[in-house]
Amino acid sequence: MSEARLSGACLCGKCTFTATRGDQGTGACHCDMCRKWSGGIYLSTDCGESVEFAEGAPVASYKGSEWGERVFCRECGSSILWQTQDGKNQHVSIQMFDDPAQFEIDVQLFIDTKPANYGLSNETKVMTRAEVFAMFGDGA
């Protein structure tokens, strides 16, 4: 993947960061935790372990499971990224970047828990709950 650093920020602009895209692509997560956390489909792009927040950024995290955590802005509440607790798998919300259209959605996670009232129009790889857990290790 490209080594170009991308810049992003939360809604209030106090959590600014840079990141480099990883090789897992951009996905739509349909798990119940992501839907509740983001208020809908969580659209994120893989950034490996490259996210670097500006000094003093008011970031906070919520450990939603034994292996994953959700990072958000303590000031405005923006959902910034999901990551494994070891920080090696960071998936940043594409909405944190100025141009979210630059990311082509190519995979759907937790397809077996997606509500029936919406769907994506493009063809993507789809992964069940069991396949996602197998990808990130035995953790659910």
State pLDDT tens for residues 109-123: 999 999 999 998 888
Is the domain spanning 5-136 CATH 2.170.150.70? The answer is yes
Average pLDDT over residues 72-82: 98
Q: What is the DSSP string of 14-81?
A: -SEEEEE--SS-EEEE--HHHHHHHTS-EEEEE-TT--EEPTT--EEEE--SSSEEEEEETTT--EEE
State pLDDT tens for residues 2-56: 578 999 999 999 999 999 999 999 999 999 999 999 999 999 999 999 999 999 9
Whole-prediction pTM value?
Answer: 0.88
Number of residues that this document lists for the chain: 140
**Coil, helix or strand for 95?**
helix
Rounded-to-integer distance, Cα 123 and Cα 67, Å:
29
Kindly state the tokens that stand for 14: 């106090």
Domain ranges for the chain, please list them: 5-136
Query: Mean pLDDT across the chain, nearest whole number?
Result: 93
Backbone angles phi, psi at 50, to 5 degrees: -95, -5
